[in-house]
Amino acid sequence: MKPPLILDFDASVLSPTDNAIRIALGGWQEAIRFGCFRSAFARLEQHLETLMPDSYGCVFTGSGDYHHISLLLLRLLARRAKLPPASLDCIVCDNHPDNMRYPFGIHCGSWVRHASELACIRHIHVIGITSADINPAHAWANYLGPLLRNKLSYWSVRQEARWLKLLGREKNSRTFASADALLAAFLPVISGAKSLYLSIDKDVFSPEVARTNWDQGIFTEDHAAAVIGACAGRLMGSDITGEFSAYAYAGMGKKLLVSLDGPDRMGACGPEEALVERETQRQLNARLLRLLEHGG
C-alpha cells in the first residue's frame, strides 16, 4: 500500500501509521491558513512540487482551515497522471459547500469553485451539508458559475437551496431528511463514474465521532465507509482534513476574517484535552485509512 502523506502545517496530525511520510510546512501557516492571496498559494504550489514524493496514498492536511490545499493536490494529480478533460469526478464530504465567495484570493470555503474550473473535472459532488450556507438567506454568497455550468451539486440534510430553482438549476441541489436517505440517492449517481477523487473534511461528522474547530454535521463512520466502499477500484487520490487545531494569527486582517467566518471552538480547551481529542482523531484517521486502502 502507498504510504499516507502528512502535509504538516499545524502539528495537529498524529501519524496514523508507522510508514506515514511527513513534510514540514509550519513556516507557511500564517500565510496559508484559512485563506491566502493567490500569489502565496502559487508560491506554496511551487514549493510543494519539489517536495512531494513520486508515490503516496491519502494526504492529511491538518485543520479544516487548510481544505483549500485539496485544490493543489488535484492540480498535481492532473499533471502527474495527465488526466484527460472531464475525466474525474470529485466527491467532497463536508458540512459546508466550500463554494462561498472570497474576494481576497482563495480560502478553505471557496476552493471548490476553483477546482470546478480544472479541465480534468467532470463534476464535483459536495455531500453531507447541514450548514445554513446554502439557504436562501446566503444565496448571494455562493459562487453561481459552477452551478450554472453543471459542474457542481449540493447534497444536503434538512437544508434547502430553493433559490437554484429560480436559475433553472434545481437539479444541482438535493436535500434529504437524513444522511441515510442522502446516501441511498447519491451512491447510484456515482456508480458510473470511471475515476474518482475523494476529499473528506471531518466536520461532516457528528461531534460524537470526532471534534473539529468548525460547526459539524451528522455523518457517522458508517456513512463514510459506505462512500469509500462505493469508490472501490476507482480512486485516483484522496485527502482528509479537519483535525482538532487552533492557531493565533499575527495579522489583524485574518483575525477579523476568522472572527466573522469561522469561530474557533478550541478557545477554552486546555492542552490535556487537546491531546485527547487529537488521539481520537488519530484513531479515526487510521480507521478511515484502512477503509481507503482496502476499499478504495
Cβ atoms of residues 284 and 211 within 8 Å: no
Through-space distance between the first and last CA atoms of the chain, rounded to whole angstroms: 11
- Residues 50-86 have pLDDT tens digits of 999 999 999 999 999 999 999 999 999 999 999 999 9
Average pLDDT over every residue of 180-201? 98
The pLDDT value recorded for residue 265 is: 55
Per-position b or e across 113-135, b if 16+ CB within 10 A of its CB: bbbbebebbebbbbbbbbbebbe
Q: What is the average pLDDT across 192-207? A: 97
Whether 264 shows a pLDDT value over 80: the answer reads no
- Asked if 291 and 198 count as a contact pair (C-beta separation under 8 A), the reply is no
CB 226 within 8 A of CB 288: no
Q: How confident is the model at residue 1 (pLDDT cuts 50, 70, 90)?
A: confident
pLDDT value at residue 260: 76
Do 282 and 11 form a contact (C-beta atoms < 8 A)?
no
Confidence of residue 284 (pLDDT cuts 50, 70, 90): very high
Taking 60 as the threshold, does the pLDDT of residue 296 lie above it?
no
Name the pLDDT band for 262 (thresholds 50, 70, 90): low
Mean pLDDT along residues 78-101? 98
When comparing pLDDT for 20 and 263, which is higher? Answer: 20
Which tens digits make up the pLDDT trace of 19-61? 999 999 999 999 999 999 999 999 999 999 999 999 999 999 9
Instruction: Report which residue type is found at 268.
Output: A
pLDDT of 273 reads 82
CA 41 to CA 259: how far, in whole Å?
A: 22
What pLDDT, on the 0 to 100 scale, is given for residue 258? Answer: 80
Phi first, then psi, for residue 143 (nearest 5°) are -65, 130
Number of domains in the chain: 1
The rounded radius of gyration (Å) of the Cα atoms in the chain is 18
Mean pLDDT of the residues in the chain:
94
Is the pTM here over 0.85, yes or no?
yes
Query: Could you tell me the CA-to-CA distances from 23 to 20, 70, 164 in Å, in that order?
Result: 10, 16, 41
Residue 230 belongs to domain with CATH number? 3.40.800
Contact criterion met (CB below 8 Å) for 89 and 103:
no
For 107-151, the pLDDT digits (tens) are 999 999 999 999 999 999 999 999 999 999 999 999 999 999 999
Range of the domain at 66: 5-295
Rounded mean pLDDT, 89-118: 97
